[in-house]
Structure 1
Amino acid sequence: MLAIVAAIIFGLGFLLDLLNARIAAGISGTTFMLLGLTLLALHQAGIGTASFRGSTGGWRGRTRR
C-alpha cells in the first residue's frame, strides 16, 4: 500500500518539477521526491504490509516452525 502511495507522490512531484511550480510554504517537487523515498523505505522495512487473518498468526499471518 505504501508503494502505491509513494508512486502517486512521485507523480505529483514529477509534475511540479516539470511545471517548475511551488505550492504554498515552499513545497516543491524535491519535497515530494523525499516524501516518496521515505514511503518506499517504510514499505521495504515492512511497515504497512501487515495482513489481518484473524486472532492467530501475528503480524505476518504465519509463524515459522
Structure 2
Amino acid sequence: MLAIIGAVLFGLALILDLADANLGDTVTASTIVTAGLLCVALHLAGVGARARTGGGWSLRSRR
C-alpha cells in the first residue's frame, strides 16, 4: 500500500515538474519526491504489512 502511495506521489511530482506548476513555497516537486521516497522506504522496512495469521483455509486442515 505504501509503495502504491509512493508511486502516485512520484507521478504527481513528475507532472508538476513537467508543467512547471507551483503549489506554493512549501509544496514543491522535490517535497513530493521526498514524501514518495519516505513511503517507499517505509514499505521496504515492512511498515504497514498485513499480519499473516494461520486462520486461513488449507488442504492440511481437511485431513
Question: CA deviation digits over 1:22-50, x for unaligned, max 9?
Answer: 11343111111100000000000000112
Aligned residue for 2:26?
Answer: 26
Larger Rg: 2
The unaligned stretches of length 5 or more in structure 1 are 57-65
RMSD: 1.9
Q: Does 1:51 align with 2:55?
A: no
Query: Please, what TM-score do these two structures have when normalized by structure 2?
Result: 0.74
Which has the bigger relative contact order, CA under 8 A and spacing at least 6?
2
Query: Please, what TM-score do these two structures have when normalized by structure 1?
Result: 0.72
Q: List structure 1 segments (4+ residues) > 6 angstroms apart after TM superposition.
A: none
Aligned residue for 2:58?
Answer: none
Aligned residue for 2:41?
Answer: 41
Aligned residue for 1:14?
Answer: 14
